[in-house]
Amino acid sequence: MLFSDLDNLSTKARARLEESWAGVFRREYFSRLDEKPFAVLYSDEYSRPNTPVNVMLGLVQRVHRVLSKADQHRYANEFKPFLKGSSGQYVYHIKGEKTIGHIERIGNLMYWVLQEVSDQYNHTPAFQTLERVFNEHFIIEETG
C-alpha cells in the first residue's frame, strides 16, 4: 500500500516488516532515540517544506486520479493549481516564507474534497487516507 502506516498493514506484511532489519531498527534504536539533543540543529525560520507537504500534495493528486473522468472535469478548477507536475516539483518551487500559505491552500482543498465528494468516494483507500491526514494536520476554524 502506498500510503500505509504500521497500523494499516496486513498481519502478514506487518510480521514480515517486524522480522526484517527495519523491525529491529525500530525496536532497538529508533524508539530509544532522544530527539532533544538534536533540537539545536533545527531552525525556527521558514525554509523549504519537508516531506509531509510533499505527501499531502501527492495524496491530493492521488485522490484526483480516483475521481471519475466526469468529476475530474467538473472539479478541474479546484485541482488545477496542484496538478502541474509532480508533488516534488510543486514543493521545490515553494519559497520558505510562503510555505504556510501553500499548506493552507492544500488544507482548504482537502476540506473541500471531503465535503464535496465524500458520498461518492469515501470507500476508496485514497479518500480514507486523505480524511485521516486532514484530521491529523488541520483544524477547522469557523469564520464570521
Where the chain has pLDDT below 50, the residues are 1-4, 48-49, 51
Q: What is the value of pTM for the model shown?
A: 0.60
Report the phi/psi class of residue 85: left, alpha or beta, with left for phi > 0 and alpha for psi in -120 to 50.
Answer: left
Strands (E), 29-142: none
Distances (CA, A) of 38 to 41, 57, 124: 6, 28, 39
- Which pLDDT score, from 0 to 100, does residue 68 have? 94
CA 82, CA 72: separation in Å to the nearest integer? Answer: 13
Residue-wise DSSP of 91-104:
HHT--GGGHHHHHH
